[in-house]
Each structure stands twice: as C-alpha cells, then as structure tokens.
Structure 1
Amino acid sequence: LHGKAERTETSTAMNKVLRKLAPLEEQVLHHGQRLESMNSTLIRTSNNADLCAGQTTSLESAVQGLSRRMTECQGKLTIKADTQDLQDMAVAMVDFQSRVSGYQTKLDQLDQQLKDQLRADTRPPSQLDLALLDLDLAASSSVQPK
C-alpha cells in the first residue's frame, strides 16, 4: 500500500512537470516559426544586420531560457518510485531536451543564413519590412521565459 501511494505521488508529480513543459515546448515551436518567417522577409529585402542579430539573439535567449527552466524542473523533482516510473520520466525529459537542442541547431543555421544573406544584400529595407521586423521583435520580447 505504501509503494502504491509513492507511485501515485510520483505519477502526479510527473504529470505536473509534463503539463508545465508543454507550454514551454509550444513557445519554442512558436519562436522557431517566427524566426523562419523573419528569415524569409530578410532574405528578400533587408541589410539591417543589427536588427537581425538582435532578433536572433532574443530567440536564442528564449530557447536557452526554456532549456534552463526545463533543467530546473528536473532538479526540483524528488521522486521516490519504482524503476519503470523513473525510466518513463527520463525518456520524456531526454525527448524534450533533444527537441530543444534541435531547435537551437535550427536557430544557429538560420542565423548563419541571415548573416550570409546580409553580406550579399545591399538594398535598404522597405518600410513594410521594417514594420514587420518591429512587430516580430515586439512579439518575441513579450514572450520571455520567467
């Protein structure tokens, strides 16, 4: 009976952590999509390297913040359960870390593409491009990790 209560407590704790991680994964996906959109706009018209670097840095910081928060959640768990419960939790955490790492790799690749494109593009950005970039920057800075 005591072991079942511990497994139930562990299961409840794992479910709470996974519920907290789901919105973080959504934010990572959202930031990744926003960066892809920004990259398309910049490839067509922009040579404003400072603005591009600031946006990319902001997104990279958000991904790193999400990764830190996930690691903090892992560290706060003190689970006393059977081996299978711990293995299931470890698999879920490794899967999430792998996704975050994949997003970081993609951000690095997109950042390099932006830098390469900016070196080749000498046209000034249009008013529409600047407005879109301002919106992207404002939206990404309003969704910062806590």
Structure 2
Amino acid sequence: MEAIRLFGINDELVEKYNCSLCGTEIKYTYEFKNKIYGCECIKKVTGHDVSYWIVENGKINVEATEKRERDRKGEMDEFEAKVLKNAWIVEFLEPFTQNNDFAYNLMDTLKQRPIEYLSERQISIIAEMYAKSSGKKGSKAYNEKYNQFYEMLK
C-alpha cells in the first residue's frame, strides 16, 4: 500500500500507486481489505464492478454496500409480491388478448408491475370486463361480480 513518490512538473510531489494484483501503475485507486487495486483488478478480486461498490475516499465500504443490497432485495421482494397478487387478473385477461391490443397491454403491464401502476379508468374497465362475464350490465349477477372484483383487489 506504499505509494511511489516522484517529483513531477514544477517540482510537485506526485504519488503513484501500483496495483496489488497485477502490479500495474494506477491513477485511480480502490482500497479493499487493506490492499490497493485498479478498476479491472477490483472486478477480478471481488467479482463485482467498481460501480457496484460504495466507495468513500478511495476505500470500498463493504458494510454499506451489503446494507444497500439487503435493502434493495427487501424492496424487490415486496415489489414481486405485489406483482404476484395480479396473477388472477392476468389469467382472467388472457382469453381477451387474442384480438384486443388494449387487453394485451393491460395484461403485459400487470405481469411486470403492481396494479397501482394502472389508472383508475383502466382498473374500472377490467372490473367491467370481469363483471360482464356473469351477466348484463346492471343485473344482480353483474353488480355482485363487479363488487367482488374490487374486494379481491384489497
């Protein structure tokens, strides 16, 4: 971890470091486990690119990076759980997607995102489609199915 001290232009002190893995002289250094590495060697040593790590003053902060990744994983698990709640709606919409681009786009969106990403109008259209599967608009069966759709969303 020792720097080679050289005098450069205008007798300024210039510190040059060599990579602990390959020995190449490096300008931008990253300290990991008390050794100095360059960008390419950090990837070889840690298995991750420099952009993955949280770097503070040239030192890789492993604890902060691991905490960030745990938080991201928790958020992704929450997001995926919300998307999985859409499975019954996606299953319902599938037969309508053959000749209907609107239904296909709704289904495609619900496969990738929670229902909160749809507008109120889009949700009400799906509710109407769901309710019409049991009867005409305004009938008792329609109204029950329409209300059931919104109950199932909760």
Structure 2 length as normaliser, TM-score? Answer: 0.31
Greater strand percent: which structure?
2
Greater helix percent: which structure?
1
Whose Rg is larger? 2
